[in-house]
Amino acid sequence: MASGAGSSMLYSFLLFTVILSLQEMYRSKLASTELFTILGGFISSLLFLVLLTLIGNFQETCGMKTGWGAVILAEGVALIAAGTVHRVCITTWI
């Protein structure tokens, strides 16, 4: 089971890196119109999902207890990433 969690953790890390990089590269485009701002919030929700998977698999691999701390950490990172694009992306993320 540990190798499945390890490979899932690696894929989650790679997806998180790619999604965050693309979001930051196209920050001005995502903030240009209302529709793109909503898309920026959706992309931030994908960041939350991928980061939560990454943290959960890391905790499973290390034998740590999974709790609400992982959710709060992933939520904070996704909110910061959404805030770098546009303020409305934060509300559409939620």
- The pLDDT value given to residue 3: 67
Kindly report the pTM of this predicted structure: 0.89
User: What range does the domain containing 14 cover?
Assistant: 2-93
- The pLDDT value given to residue 52: 95
Segment 17-30, tens digit of pLDDT: 999 999 999 999 99
Q: Give me the residues of the chain with pLDDT under 70, please.
A: 1-3
Task: State in Å, rounded, how far the first CA of the chain is from the last one.
Answer: 33
Are 78 and 93 contacting, i.e. CB atoms less than 8 angstroms apart? yes
Q: Which residues are CB-contacts of 85 (< 8 A; sequence separation ≥ 6)?
A: 23, 27, 30, 31, 37, 40, 44
CA 19 to chain centre: 8
- The pLDDT value given to residue 66: 77
94: helix, strand or coil: coil
The count of structural domains within the chain is: 1
